[in-house]
Structure 1
Amino acid sequence: MKAPQWDKEVDVLVVGAGAGGMAAAITAHFHGSSVLLVEKTDRIGGSTAISGGAVWAPLNSQSAAVGHPDTFENAWTYMRNTVGDAAPEAMQRAFLNSSAEAVDFLEKNTEVKLAARKYSPDYYPDREGAAFGGRSLDPVMFDGRLLGEHFRELRDPLPEFMVLGGMMITMTDANHLLAVTRSFTSWKEGMKLVLRFFGDRLRGYHRGTRLVLGNALAARLFKTVLDRRIEYWLGAPLKSLITEEGSVMGAEIERDGRVQRIRAKRGVVVATGGFPWSPEMRGRLYPQPTGPWSMSPQGNAGEGIEIARAAGASMGSGYFSPAFWAPVSILEKPDGSYVRYPHLVWDRAKPGLMAVNAAGKRFVNESTSYHEFVIGMYRSHQTVPTLPAFLICDSDFMERWGLGLALPGGRPREHLVRAGYLYRASSLDELAARLGVDAKGLGESAERFNRHARAGEDAEFGKGSTAYNRYLGDAGHKPNECLGPLQKGPFYAVKVYAGDIGTACGIRCNENAQALDTDGRPIPGLYAAGNDMQSVMGGQYPAPGITLGPALTFGWIAGRHVAQNTTHSQAELETA
């Protein structure tokens, strides 16, 4: 048999430059493998770069130091009480057994630096095994100037999560900026941020170089790729996997308009970000109705999963949900493009916001997790139109907190009203007419909502009833951090749709991140990580960081395992 012609040979080929892909590439390189990292788009970072950046890693070495010592039994109990049987038990155990070790490896051998949260409740704090801090970690701020000329190759954050046209901020930063006229401490912190940002712009940077959240994590991984001189190609999509007798031997990668055959002597890791922008896969696997409402980069269109399936990989099953949900409001711009805003942790839990369906009725605890909120939308939609749903507030709320793209503090918002994104009316009856919802139902809902606010207890849906709810509320508002009245006009509303922040169903894998065929056997030479892998959470959302935690963990597992894979090289020796 004639030997195949290869354009390039490496030990390991990694497809996709998000957290999972870069973790795999760095780990494989650390263990002595030559690595090529290829990325479909022209930017490094994938979904990670535009995310909140939290990493859920139970049992990590920082937990006790921040006051939350953890045990495997507690973490396992919580996993079983949230994920249950929505994901294979062996995969859940593999994650819990390895997440802390993966984080320690990255902390010791890469630029990745994470800080455990002193207080950050798991999303179901009333379930046995839940923790109130320590398990979720945040990326430490990174100086983008350290990337040098490669800074422009890092994917920019979402513009909606920057201020002044390019300055990244955390929730703590946002609270300081909102209080600059009321607190000297906040004024000092706010001035530091602003002066740093304008200094960056004067030096010619296209945005601020003080990187936080997921952009900092992506930058830290990218800096490690650069420091270790791992070869990477941008604008290089995966076209196919090359197989021989059931083993993956390499891949076809398009670069500069030419398809190149890359030999991967130890294996290929597929980590292309899932399928949220594949209309076909979304239509087949998502509940209906669905639409182009994802917050993921539009390059995440499912090719990695489909190409892996063509090579024999099977899809996971038994999941609770096919995606990780978030309510998303959408602004159509004059040029026909769209701006999507995910209502994650800023506005929904604050006192004075109410969510209703087309009947004007509340249908969910507004301060629940973004994932549960959308599940509530779909549940309500079975009997009452709830897609879209409506977030409603009064003028006091708007000036204090803002609503989606409408910023607080008297900032301009007329353009959002004219564009049909923000609805405004002098009364709730008028607002109901503008939204097309039942006015009587809305009025009755607001009346009950206001009674709950005065009492400090939401007897209908429990807004503000858990530690997680109150964590995202207004700590200075009493008697309930999440409950406030709707009473002062004008009243405002935005429509929210069933958006997502990534997919949860993907390639079925074993504990080594090896892709499995339809009979449950590992496919030699094929691995998956990130959202291309069937989620170890099974489409449940136990805590902040449950996408990036597994992405880093199974990226590390895949990189370590593929670096030790000698199957292909041994076969070549025997053939020779």
Structure 2
Amino acid sequence: MSEVDVVVIGSGAAGLAAALAAAHGGASVLVLEASSRWGGSTAVSGGQVWVPANPWMAAAGFDDSPEEALTYCETAAPGRDSELVRRFLQAAPLMARFLEDRTPLRFSAVPAYPETFVELPGGKPARHIETGPVAVGDLGDAGELLWPAPLFEPVLTNQEIFEHRLFAGGPPPLDLIARRKALGVVTLGAGLVVGLLHGCHAAGVDLIRDRRVTELSCEESGRVVGVRTAEDRTVIARRGVVLASGGFEHDTRLRSRLLSGPLTHPVTPPIQHGDGIRLAGAVGAALEYTAEYWSWPACQVPGRVWPDAEATPQPQLVLPERSLPHTLWVNSAGRRFVNESSHNCALVFADLDPNTHRPRNLPAWTIGDAQFRAKYPVAGIPAGAPAPDWLIRADTVAELAERIDVDPIALQHTVTRFNTMAAAGRDDDFHRGQTRYEHAFGDATAPNPNLGPVTEPPFFALPVHPGAVGTKGGARIDRDARVLDWHDRPIPGLYAAGNSAAAVFGPGTFAGGLTIASALTWGWIAGNHLTSA
């Protein structure tokens, strides 16, 4: 048996921020990570942090205020707990400044990355910040330290990725990439985790991998006073425990029992098995928003797997295949069903056919042509590269329809109508390509950044699956990140942050980096409250 002031379960953004804040508040802190790699989902993320009214944005010439941010939140995500929204907006800038003061992280604004709904009241073109390159140093080999990112090797920043048009098939800055690799630095979510790890080490936090928590220890009064691990070891937590172990997207039983829509291809590392929600539920925590998840469209390249013992398939986000010209999506009826380039497009996979009670838009396909293949990447295959055998191709739309079991007449009609609208530069059916967010992920050199006719053979079809970057359901928390019971009373000694806590924002998203911002902010709040109470 060992004893510390604070036990943190999980080493992603939420857990490391909580550990760092508690340690600088004078507590002895132990972080227990269930897997052999640090960082969880944060390590494979873009690492953008949505922080309204932050000083880095102001330094870049963008004005903002907490009042405008609140207006945006209430408009884009109505019906959530206004007290928690206000608390987040108040704390997020303070959290970011704390991290820069206490770690090697150096933040800057990301002007190229707008909010999802800039056009709404209170919307802004630049509320995101990100870290610059961070040296891995004596932490070890980054390839073994963290989970590997599926899209971009983390050596360029988000701003650089946008500036070099890498989403749109632009040439990568090979010299810069080589210099960064030689320096041993990382960026994006990997850089965020590495910076937090350095800060935690400097603050005296004890970090242990391969140590899964299976039970919370409670006094008869209900106060949480420690944890038990899979090795049947007990750790006493004198001040409290922070649940920061992520969501449950990789647990098929919890997915089938709790989620309101289909989720078959989570893009997070295969470690999110619902430990947080189970631990919280076992001690009487109120659970909230368990049907929601941070939905994204995903695709799966055959043979691409995570480096775990089970060789779990590693899907990746669908980005170019929904945002760039010369593609459209269709369902099994051969019809379009959504604005493909919208940020929340994957929410539509939960729509049910009232006659069959099955998802009406699954299976779904990206349909594209030779123009797309010549200019843009598809499923990670570079522009102009030979098409892999697994990519379904055909010389006519009708033949392609046969190969994906879609009605040829319906598909031909859909493609013809889409081409007419794309040639005119306006999508009258779903309004694709009419927002600043969509343009940011489009091709600025095209007549319409997001629209182009699908006319040149060979045509291709890529399956699109319902994916996610995490689930949203978890323990209900208060303004201090304390876990609440079903009577809205704090459970003494228990806190939650990240995807182990019920999401403050939803049901969709209104800004990239909202997951990371929420994790860092509520983790920081939890760590501070643990050492100030």
Query: What is the DSSP-based 3-state SS (H/G/I as helix, E as strand, rest coil) of the residue aligned with 1:470?
Result: helix
| 1:356 aligned to which of 292, 312, 330 | 330
Q: Give the equivalent residue in structure 2 for 1:271.
A: 244
Read off the aligned partner of 1:122 and give its amino acid letter. E
- Give the superposition deviation at 1:345: 3.6
Query: What is the DSSP-based 3-state SS (H/G/I as helix, E as strand, rest coil) of the residue aligned with 1:347?
Result: helix
Q: Quick check: 1:155 aligned with 2:130?
A: no
- Give the superposition deviation at 1:125: 2.1
Q: Quick check: 1:513 aligned with 2:476?
A: no
Listed as ranges, the gaps of 5+ residues in structure 1 are: 1-6, 201-208, 566-576
C-alpha distance in 2 between matches for 1:423 and 1:259: 50
- Give the superposition deviation at 1:260: 1.4
- Give the superposition deviation at 1:173: 4.5
Q: Give the equivalent residue in structure 1 for 2:177.
A: 193
Identity of aligned pairs, percent?
33
Q: Give the equivalent residue in structure 1 for 2:41.
A: 47
| 2:381 aligned to which of 392, 406, 409 | 406
Read off the aligned partner of 1:111 and give its amino acid letter. P
Q: Quick check: 1:366 aligned with 2:360?
A: no
Q: Give the equivalent residue in structure 2 for 1:63.
A: 57
Query: What is the DSSP-based 3-state SS (H/G/I as helix, E as strand, rest coil) of the residue aligned with 1:413?
Result: coil
C-alpha distance in 2 between matches for 1:378 and 1:385: 8
Contact in 2 for aligned 1:238/1:304 (Cα 8 Å): no
- Give the superposition deviation at 1:385: 3.7
Instruction: Return closer, same or farther for 1:397/1:221 CA change in 2, 3 Å cut-off.
Output: same
**1:179-190 aligned within 5 A:** 189-190=173-174
Q: Give the equivalent residue in structure 2 for 1:473.
A: 442
| 2:362 aligned to which of 387, 399, 424 | 387
Q: Give the equivalent residue in structure 1 for 2:396.
A: 427
| 1:439 aligned to which of 397, 408, 418 | 408
Q: Quick check: 1:333 aligned with 2:303?
A: yes
C-alpha distance in 1 between matches for 2:492 and 2:312: 42
Read off the aligned partner of 1:342 and give its amino acid letter. Q
Q: Give the equivalent residue in structure 2 for 1:131.
A: 124
Q: Quick check: 1:220 aligned with 2:212?
A: no
C-alpha distance in 2 between matches for 1:380 and 1:404: 27
Instruction: Return closer, same or farther for 1:563/1:344 CA change in 2, 3 Å cut-off.
Output: farther
Contact in 1 for aligned 2:304/2:313 (Cα 8 Å): no
**How big is each residue's C-alpha offset from its partner over 1:496-519, in whole Å with a ceiling of 9 and x where there is no partner?**
111111011110000000000111
| 1:489 aligned to which of 457, 477, 480 | 457
**How big is each residue's C-alpha offset from its partner over 1:121-157, in whole Å with a ceiling of 9 and x where there is no partner?**
2111221111111x1112212222x234364652132
| 1:456 aligned to which of 413, 422, 425 | 425
Contact in 2 for aligned 1:24/1:557 (Cα 8 Å): yes
- Give the superposition deviation at 1:160: 4.5
Q: Give the equivalent residue in structure 1 for 2:257.
A: 284
Size of the aligned set, in residue pairs, is 524
C-alpha distance in 2 between matches for 1:334 and 1:314: 38
Q: Quick check: 1:249 aligned with 2:211?
A: no
**How big is each residue's C-alpha offset from its partner over 1:427-474, in whole Å with a ceiling of 9 and x where there is no partner?**
111111111111111111111111111111111111111111111111
Instruction: Return closer, same or farther for 1:152/1:475 CA change in 2, 3 Å cut-off.
Output: closer
Q: Give the equivalent residue in structure 2 for 1:31.
A: 25
C-alpha distance in 2 between matches for 1:391 and 1:130: 30
Read off the aligned partner of 1:71 and give its amino acid letter. S
C-alpha distance in 1 between matches for 2:139 and 2:281: 39
Q: Give the equivalent residue in structure 2 for 1:143.
A: 135
Structure 1 outlier segments of 4+, above 6 Å? 166-169
C-alpha distance in 2 between matches for 1:449 and 1:37: 52
- Give the superposition deviation at 1:57: 0.9
Contact in 2 for aligned 1:59/1:70 (Cα 8 Å): yes
C-alpha distance in 1 between matches for 2:158 and 2:452: 25
- TM-score, length basis structure 1: 0.86
C-alpha distance in 2 between matches for 1:382 and 1:406: 38
Q: Give the equivalent residue in structure 2 for 1:554.
A: 522
C-alpha distance in 2 between matches for 1:270 and 1:138: 25
C-alpha distance in 2 between matches for 1:552 and 1:378: 29
Q: Give the equivalent residue in structure 1 for 2:78.
A: 84
Deviates more, 1:341-350 or 1:295-304: 341-350
Contact in 1 for aligned 2:318/2:379 (Cα 8 Å): no
C-alpha distance in 2 between matches for 1:175 and 1:432: 37
Deviates more, 1:360-369 or 1:536-545: 536-545
- Give the superposition deviation at 1:559: 0.2
Q: Quick check: 1:536 aligned with 2:529?
A: no
- Give the superposition deviation at 1:178: 6.8
Listed as ranges, the gaps of 5+ residues in structure 2 are: none
C-alpha distance in 2 between matches for 1:153 and 1:435: 39
C-alpha distance in 1 between matches for 2:467 and 2:66: 33
Contact in 2 for aligned 1:363/1:377 (Cα 8 Å): no
Q: Give the equivalent residue in structure 1 for 2:69.
A: 75
Contact in 2 for aligned 1:389/1:495 (Cα 8 Å): yes
C-alpha distance in 2 between matches for 1:97 and 1:124: 21
Read off the aligned partner of 2:257 and give its amino acid letter. R
- Give the superposition deviation at 1:289: 3.8
Superposed CA RMSD in Å reads 2.4
Q: Give the equivalent residue in structure 1 for 2:92.
A: 99
C-alpha distance in 2 between matches for 1:406 and 1:431: 20
Read off the aligned partner of 2:295 and give its amino acid letter. W
Instruction: Return closer, same or farther for 1:510/1:460 CA change in 2, 3 Å cut-off.
Output: same
Contact in 2 for aligned 1:330/1:338 (Cα 8 Å): no
- TM-score, length basis structure 2: 0.93
C-alpha distance in 2 between matches for 1:279 and 1:515: 25
Q: Give the equivalent residue in structure 1 for 2:468.
A: 500
Contact in 2 for aligned 1:249/1:265 (Cα 8 Å): yes
**How big is each residue's C-alpha offset from its partner over 1:498-546, in whole Å with a ceiling of 9 and x where there is no partner?**
1111011110000000000111000010000110010111332011111
Read off the aligned partner of 2:248 and give its amino acid letter. F
Instruction: Return closer, same or farther for 1:169/1:77 CA change in 2, 3 Å cut-off.
Output: closer
- Give the superposition deviation at 1:296: 1.5
C-alpha distance in 2 between matches for 1:505 and 1:9: 30
Read off the aligned partner of 2:223 and give its amino acid letter. S
Query: What is the DSSP-based 3-state SS (H/G/I as helix, E as strand, rest coil) of the residue aligned with 1:275?
Result: coil
Which is higher, the Rg of structure 1 or of structure 2? 1
Deviates more, 1:74-83 or 1:223-232: 223-232
